[in-house]
Amino acid sequence: MDLAIRASRAVIDGEIRSAAVAVADGVIRAVGPIDAEYPAAEQILLPAATVLMPGFVDTHVHINEPGTDWEGFVTATAAAAAGGITTLVDMPLDSAPVTTTVDALSKKQQAAQGNCEVDVSFWGGVVPDNLGELAGLAAAGVRGFKCFLTDSGNADFPRLNADDFRSAVAIVAAMDAVLLVHAESHHVIEDSPPPCGRGYASFLSSRPDASEEDAVAMVIDAAWETGARVHVVHLSSARVLPMLVEAKRAGVRITAETCPHYLTFTAEEIPDGATQFAACPPIRDRDNRGLLWQGLADGTLDMIVSDHSPCAPSMKADGDFGRVFGGISSLEVGPRAVWTVAAQRGFGLVELCQWMSERPAALAGLGDRGRIAVGQRADLCVFDPDGQHTVHAHALRHRHAVTPYDGVALRGSVEQTWLAGRRIYERVGAPA
C-alpha cells in the first residue's frame, strides 16, 4: 500500500466509527479496524478531534474561464481544496465561449489543463439552437446538460421556451442523460415588478415564489411525459416541495438541490444595499428556510451544492439591487456553512456527507467517489466538526473578495484534503 490513514472517527456505510483506510494507486483498497495490519509506505494517525470523511463533491460551480476575469480554474480549485471539496462540475455559462458546442468544451478543457488542484468535470449547455449538438457533447464527456427557463443574464446563453424545452427533454430522455434546469418562470418574472434601489424587498418581490412553482410544474410535466431524468438546480422556494413529493411518489425521475445561502441566511436579515446577498432565485424568509431544512430531512431535497457564481466586484459594488449581478461566492465555505446550521438543527456528519458528497456524485454519474469504500477513489476530507473560525473575505482563495459570509463565524474546520491518495491541502496550524 502507498498510504494507510487511521481515524478514531470516520464516516463509513452511513455511520461514524473508527477505521483504517488503505490506499494504493489513488484508490481505496481496504477498509478495516483502526489497528488493522496494513503495511504502507506512509502511515498516518489522525488527531482524535477530527473525522475522516469523503471529499465533498460540488456539482454547481461557475468557474467562468476562459473569457472572463470573474473566476478561474487556479483560484476556484484552490478554494475547493481548502473547503474539503475534491470534485467540481463546472456550469456551461459565463465563460466565453459558453459550453454549448464540442469546440467550446474543448476550449474549456484546454483552459483547465494543468491549472486544477481538484478534479473538474463539465456540464454541457442547452440553448434553442444547439439541440443537434447534445449527442456530440455527451460523447465528448460532459456529465449532463443545463438549461434556463428564464433569462440567464448572458445573451450567449438564451432561455428555452416551452416548445424548445420539451424538445430538449425528449432528446435527453432518449440519451438517458440528465437535464439540469434553472427553474424560474420567464413570464412570471416578466409580470413582476422589476427590482430597484437599495432595499432587498424589491429584489425579493421581483422573483416571487410563483416563478419557481410555475417552472417546476413545467419540468415535472415534461419529465412525466418523456421519462427523462431531470434535476432542479438551486431550489429556494419551499412552496415547491409538495410538488416534488407528489412527483417522486408518482415515479417521476426528478431530483433537486438547494444551496448553503438559502439554508443560512434569511430575507429579514439582509441590510439595505447588501448586494453581496443577491442570488437568482433569491434568499427568502425565515419560515421558508426552516421548510427547506425539513425538505432535506425527509428526502424531498436530495443534495446541497454551492452555486458558486462570482462576478467582477464592480457588479456588486453600488448597492443597487436593480443593477446587481445575481450570484453568490461561497465555494470554500459551503460545507462549513451548512454544518454550522445543520449541527444546530440536530443533523450529523453522516447527513452532511450524503447531501454534499454521495448524492452530488451520483447526480453527475461519478460512481467512483462520494463514499469511503473499497474501490472508491481516495478523495478524502479530514474535518474537525468542533473547530470555530470567522470568515474573512480577503483570506478566501476564490478570485474576488466578495461574499455574504464575510465576518460570519462558522463551525467546523477542514484540516486536510486528499485527492486520489495525495494530500493537496493542509490547514496552517492544524494539529499534528
% pLDDT > 70, the chain: 99
Residue 41 contacts by C-beta under 8 Å, 6 or more apart in sequence? 1, 2, 3
pTM of the complete model = 0.97
Would you state the cell numbers that stand for residue 419, as one nine-digit string?
Answer: 485527492
Question: Which of the four pLDDT bands, split at 50, 70 and 90, describes residue 317?
Answer: confident
CB count in 10 Å sphere of residue 320 = 15
All domains of the chain in start order, with CATH: 55-369 (3.20.20.140)
**What pLDDT does 44 receive?**
96
C-beta of residue 51 within 8 angstroms of C-beta of residue 383? yes
Look-up: residue for cell 427523462?
A: 228
Contact 120, 73 (CB under 8 A): yes
Q: What is the mean pLDDT of residues 39-51?
A: 96
**Who's near 172: CB < 8 A, 6+ residues apart?**
134, 144, 145, 178, 179, 228, 229, 230
Beta strands per DSSP E along 62-156: 85-90, 119-122, 124-125, 145-148
Enumerate long-range contacts of 125-129, CB under 8 Å, 24 or more apart.
125/92, 125/93, 125/98, 125/99, 125/100, 125/157, 126/100, 126/160, 126/168, 126/179, 127/98, 127/100, 127/157, 127/158, 127/160, 128/158, 128/160, 128/161, 128/164
**Mean pLDDT within 59-85:** 98
Other Cβ atoms less than 10 A from the Cβ of 365: the count is 13
**Please, are residues 36 and 30 in contact by the beta-carbon 8 Å criterion?**
yes
Cβ partners under 8 Å of residue 354, min gap 6: none
Per-residue pLDDT tens for 339-394? Answer: 999 999 999 999 999 999 999 999 999 999 999 999 999 999 999 999 999 999 99
Q: Average pLDDT of the chain? A: 97
pLDDT digits (tens, 9 = 90+) for 217-249: 999 999 999 999 999 999 999 999 999 999 999
For residue 78, the 8-state DSSP code is H
